[in-house]
């Protein structure tokens, strides 16, 4: 099995205004390794939503993007508060974001639904008080 | 319709044109960023009143051909620099989102 190409990022949890930097970089890097534009869009938006969630809720974390011949895998990990009820969090419109975040246009409760919509596989592992790990995959046809 | 034609027909002020060849064949109105990322296509002019820095990342990721800021909302230098860095076409209208969307709809469907 081929070793994937790995891109690793630290997501800064303190700077909301520059949040999303890793995802915008991933878009550029994936273009350089020759991934099709529609796949790049799906990967980078799913990752951006996850990155924003880590900044809003978990004071940052890490993001890994692994490029395999047949798929792109995104792994987001944080040591934040965890998600008590994942089914509820997955519902469109459900959000626990604060007002200051909402005033910037976030917190619409569409982040996790978008991540699911744009990926072929999404798995959330979360423990309250410990943190959250989100694994997503987009298949390369 | 290309960006320059759009600018002229809608009477928009161009704050940054990085790629005048981008084509607009539709529009998406919205200020909630996840809705825009979930729904706007790479042929939709994004019509909004949001002017915080995050809109540049969203426009870049959604790959919209341009952002149209409505109500003459003020754009600061930091945002303007970001549009240049990331190659985002940014236009401003004095009209409301409703009016800009209505005009654009008329232009594209006549």
Helix, strand, or coil here: B3? helix
Cβ distance A106 to B86 less than 8 Å, yes or no, reads: no
- Which residue from B54, B55, B62 is facing A45, i.e. has the nearest CB? B62
In terms of Cα–Cα distance, which of A64, A62, A86, A83 is closest to A73?
A64
Signed CA dihedral, A5, A44, B80, B46: sign only:
positive
pLDDT at A18: 73
CATH number for position B42: 3.40.1390.20
Count of the separate structural domains present in chain A: 1
Which residues in chain B are contacts of A27 at CB distance < 8 A?
Answer: 60-61
Signed CA dihedral, A116, A111, A138, A128: sign only:
negative
Signed CA dihedral, A124, A40, A9, B90: sign only:
negative
Neighbours of A103 (CB within 10 A): 11
Domain range spanning residue B50? 3-108
Where residue A20 falls among pLDDT bands split at 50, 70, 90?
Answer: confident
Radius of gyration of chain A, Cα coordinates, nearest whole angstrom: 14
CATH number for position A38: 3.30.565.10
Where residue A1 falls among pLDDT bands split at 50, 70, 90?
Answer: low
- Mean residue pLDDT across chain B: 97
Q: What is the pLDDT of residues B62-104, one digit of tens each?
A: 999 999 999 999 999 999 999 999 999 999 999 999 999 999 9
pLDDT at A94: 96
Phi, psi at residue A9, to the nearest 5°? Answer: -135, 145
Alpha-carbon dihedral A98, A13, A53, B45, rounded to 10 degrees:
90
Which residues in chain B are contacts of A138 at CB distance < 8 A?
Answer: none
Which residues in chain A are contacts of B55 at CB distance < 8 A?
Answer: 105
Domain range spanning residue A115? 5-139
Cβ distance B37 to A49 less than 8 Å, yes or no, reads: yes
Count of the separate structural domains present in chain B: 1
């Amino acid at each position: 099995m081929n070793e994937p190409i790995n891109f690793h990022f630290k997501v800064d949890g303190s700077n909301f205004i520059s949040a999303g930097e890793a995802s915008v970089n991933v878009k550029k890097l994936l273009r350089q390794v020759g991934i099709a534009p529609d796949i790049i869009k799906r990967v980078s938006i799913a990752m951006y939503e996850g990155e924003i969630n880590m900044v809003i809720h978990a004071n940052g974390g890490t993001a890994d993007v692994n490029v395999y011949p047949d798929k792109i895998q995104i792994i987001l990990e944080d040591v934040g508060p965890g998600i008590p009820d994942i089914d509820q969090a997955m519902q469109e419109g459900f959000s626990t974001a604060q007002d200051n975040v909402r005033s910037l246009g976030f917190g619409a409760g569409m982040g996790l639904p978008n991540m699911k919509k744009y990926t072929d596989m999404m798995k959330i592992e979360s423990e309250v008080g410990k943190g959250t790990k989100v694994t997503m995959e987009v298949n390369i046809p | 319709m290309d960006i320059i034609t759009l600018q002229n027909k809608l009477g928009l002020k161009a704050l940054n044109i990085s790629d005048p060849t981008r084509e607009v064949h539709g529009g998406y109105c919205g200020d909630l960023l996840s809705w825009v990322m979930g729904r706007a296509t790479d042929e939709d002019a994004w019509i909004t009143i949001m002017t915080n820095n995050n809109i540049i990342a969203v426009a870049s990721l959604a790959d919209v051909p341009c952002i149209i800021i409505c109500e003459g909302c003020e754009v600061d230098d930091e945002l303007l620099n970001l549009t240049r860095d990331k190659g985002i076409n940014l236009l401003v209208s004095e009209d409301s989102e409703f009016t800009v969307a209505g005009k654009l709809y008329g232009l594209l469907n006549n």
